[in-house]
């Protein structure tokens, strides 16, 4: 069987798009890596970790930083006339779930192949998902989230899933504590109801985040509504909230 027989329609991000647009595309496609294209020519790859390390962690404005600035020139691909075993070998050796599929003649992007497509189709949704996110303040002072990474956990209670998900996030991003990179995480519980329908219930981290959002806006306004200080203001707001005395009943 050849790659062209199982590949899907190509999904890529253009080199001149902004990082926040790439983050939305990660979320919409439920993937952690995308080929970067200049027109239909693949010139690199970008991952959710690239957004985290080269954008968020460096306190860059992801609404103004282009994908080209954060991408890696290391392109992972196969050709549409390759046997599927070759595509699977590349993905397993490089520990990735998806490959760009190129036309051998002009090396244009013609498709995407996923490891799940080579193992009997897409796997079932797992019962818990942790979506780690960074919060930014836009030019109007309104906070919004950029998803950094989504971790799925197959079993256990919600509390156990959170512990496992946090540990995976920390290990994959090489940090000692998840909040060194993320401002919060949402937990989605997936289950099947009595009628057989799949139901998703999404729950934010805690009330702490809501308090931090309010305090971050106050600090932003007090500072004269500056640009490019999202990380600093968020960290200061988090410190203020965490050090505040508990409310008396």
Domain extents for the chain? 3-118, 128-243
Note the pLDDT tens digit of each residue in 23-53. Answer: 888 777 777 778 899 877 888 888 777 776 6
- What pLDDT was estimated at residue 199? 66
Mean pLDDT over 168-194 rounds to 80
Query: Closest Cα to residue 49, out of 61, 37, 58, 40?
Result: 58
Q: What CATH number labels 3-118?
A: 3.10.580.10
CA distance 204 to 131: 9
Percent of the chain beyond pLDDT 90? 8
pLDDT of 196 above 70: no
* pTM for the structure as a whole: 0.47
Note the pLDDT tens digit of each residue in 46-98. Answer: 877 777 666 655 556 667 788 888 887 777 889 999 999 999 898 888 777 78
Under 8 Å between Cβ of 187 and 128: yes
Mean residue pLDDT of the chain comes to: 78
pLDDT of 222 above 60: yes
pLDDT of 194 above 80: no
Under 8 Å between Cβ of 37 and 109: yes
Note the pLDDT tens digit of each residue in 93-130. Answer: 877 778 889 999 888 999 988 877 775 544 444 578 88
């Amino acid at each position: 069987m050849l790659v062209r027989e199982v590949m899907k329609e190509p999904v890529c991000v253009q080199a001149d798009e902004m990082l926040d647009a790439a983050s939305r595309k990660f979320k919409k496609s439920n993937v952690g890596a995308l080929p970067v294209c200049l027109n239909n020519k693949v010139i690199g790859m970008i991952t959710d970790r690239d957004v985290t390390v080269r954008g968020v962690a460096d306190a860059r404005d992801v609404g103004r930083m282009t994908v080209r600035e954060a991408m890696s020139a290391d392109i992972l691909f196969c050709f549409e006339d390759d046997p599927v075993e070759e595509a699977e070998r590349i993905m397993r050796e490089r520990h990735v779930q998806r490959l760009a599929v190129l036309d051998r003649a002009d090396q244009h992007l013609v498709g995407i192949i996923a490891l799940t497509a080579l193992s009997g189709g897409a796997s079932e949704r797992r019962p818990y998902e942790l979506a780690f996110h960074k919060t930014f303040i836009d030019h109007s002072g309104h906070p919004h989230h950029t998803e950094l990474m989504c971790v799925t956990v197959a079993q256990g209670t919600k509390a156990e899933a959170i512990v496992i998900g946090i540990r995976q996030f920390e290990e994959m991003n090489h940090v000692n504590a998840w909040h060194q990179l993320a401002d919060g995480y949402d937990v989605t519980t997936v289950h099947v109801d009595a009628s057989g329908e799949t139901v998703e219930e999404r729950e934010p981290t805690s009330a702490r985040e809501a308090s931090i959002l309010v305090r971050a806006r106050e600090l932003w306004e007090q500072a004269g509504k500056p640009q490019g200080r999202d990380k600093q203001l968020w960290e200061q707001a988090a410190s203020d909230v965490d050090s505040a005395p508990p409310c008396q009943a």
